[in-house]
């Protein structure tokens, strides 16, 4: 596909994503109140447990309105995740065969649960992070937390975890599109594991190792599962090429393997 067509397709997909996010944000606007109550629940539980005044503070006149817009957009990303994940997949893998598209649809069906699972894991980690960041408040002091900063922190953590759990989808998509071989992912597994642990250490601002490992291990497991899918795909493609007398995707031939053996 020529570069101009790629750019045109990218613009088309981005337009679809924007429309989906807009619809999700409109829905988020109407469910703002219960969602906001849920987002501030860790603060209220912490205040009750410590018997201290810990509350969100809306400093500016328009802060509450601004936060409603931000939370609505955040909910738009969550609610429209099946739509924008599909659009990204469709852009990355436009030239798949019919059989590969079947596998792609099946694996894409796992992308949404992975994204939501990452968001759920972030929500599980969040109370510990809030407790750690506020535990140095003196007993007789009042902790008024800036609502903008708190909710922005919560939304960034949830989205970061969700996107991190989409890693296997991206790996398999690039492999099915013929852009990255499984061997490339396999060679870089050490860097992938290191990156997973660094991400877990940064995304979980708590001192306990258990929380960090509970984040890093799922990311590593998903990486190796995706690597296994890529290996199986490459083997199937190589067998089909050899059966036609063509070189494999890595440039080797079956005769060369026989001679080496």
Residue spans of the domains in the chain: they are: 3-249
pLDDT at 188 over 60: yes
**Residue 259: what pLDDT?**
42
Per-residue pLDDT tens over the stretch 49-63: 766 666 777 877 777
**pTM (2 decimals)?**
0.70
**Residue 205: what pLDDT?**
61
Q: State percent of the chain over pLDDT 70.
A: 77
pLDDT at 247 over 70: no
Cα separation, 111 vs 158, whole angstroms? 16
**Residue 19: what pLDDT?**
93
At residue 142, φ and ψ (nearest 5 deg) are -110, 130
**Residue 93: what pLDDT?**
66
- Cβ atoms of residues 151 and 203 within 8 Å: no
Q: What is the mean pLDDT of the chain?
A: 78
pLDDT at 23 over 90: yes
Find the range with the poorest average confidence among 93-102, 137-146, 193-202, 236-245.
Answer: 93-102
Cα separation, 233 vs 249, whole angstroms? 12
Q: State percent of the chain over pLDDT 90.
A: 6
pLDDT at 103 over 80: no
Query: How is residue 57 annotated by DSSP?
Result: E
pLDDT at 70 over 90: no
Q: Strand locations in 99-191, DSSP E? A: 142-146
More confidently predicted of 200 and 76: 76
pLDDT at 90 over 80: no
At residue 253, φ and ψ (nearest 5 deg) are -115, 160
More confidently predicted of 172 and 19: 19
Cα separation, 153 vs 243, whole angstroms? 54
- Cβ atoms of residues 164 and 118 within 8 Å: yes
């Amino acid at each position: 596909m020529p570069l101009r067509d790629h750019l045109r397709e990218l613009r088309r997909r981005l337009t679809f994503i924007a429309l989906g996010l807009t619809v999700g944000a409109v829905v988020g606007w109407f469910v703002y109140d219960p969602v906001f109550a849920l987002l501030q629940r860790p603060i209220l539980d912490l205040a009750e447990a410590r018997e201290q005044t810990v509350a969100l503070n809306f400093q500016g006149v328009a802060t509450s309105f601004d936060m409603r817009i931000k939370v609505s957009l955040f909910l738009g990303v969550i609610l429209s995740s099946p739509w924008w994940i599909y659009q990204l997949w469709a852009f990355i893998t436009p030239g798949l065969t019919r059989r590969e598209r079947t596998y792609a649809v099946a694996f894409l069906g796992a992308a949404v649960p992975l994204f939501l699972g990452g968001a759920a894991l972030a929500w599980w980690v969040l109370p510990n992070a809030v407790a750690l960041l506020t535990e140095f408040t003196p007993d007789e002091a009042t902790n008024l937390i800036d609502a903008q900063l708190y909710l922005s922190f919560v939304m960034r953590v949830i989205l970061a975890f969700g996107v991190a759990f989409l890693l296997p989808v991206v790996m398999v998509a690039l492999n099915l599109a013929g852009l990255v071989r499984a061997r490339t992912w396999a060679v870089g597994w050490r860097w992938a594991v290191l990156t997973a642990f660094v991400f877990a250490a940064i995304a979980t601002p708590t001192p306990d190792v258990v929380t960090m490992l509970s984040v890093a291990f799922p990311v590593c497991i998903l990486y190796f599962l995706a690597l296994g899918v890529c290996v199986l795909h490459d083997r199937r493609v190589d067998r089909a090429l050899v059966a036609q007398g063509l070189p494999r995707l890595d440039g080797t031939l079956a005769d060369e393997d026989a001679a080496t053996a």
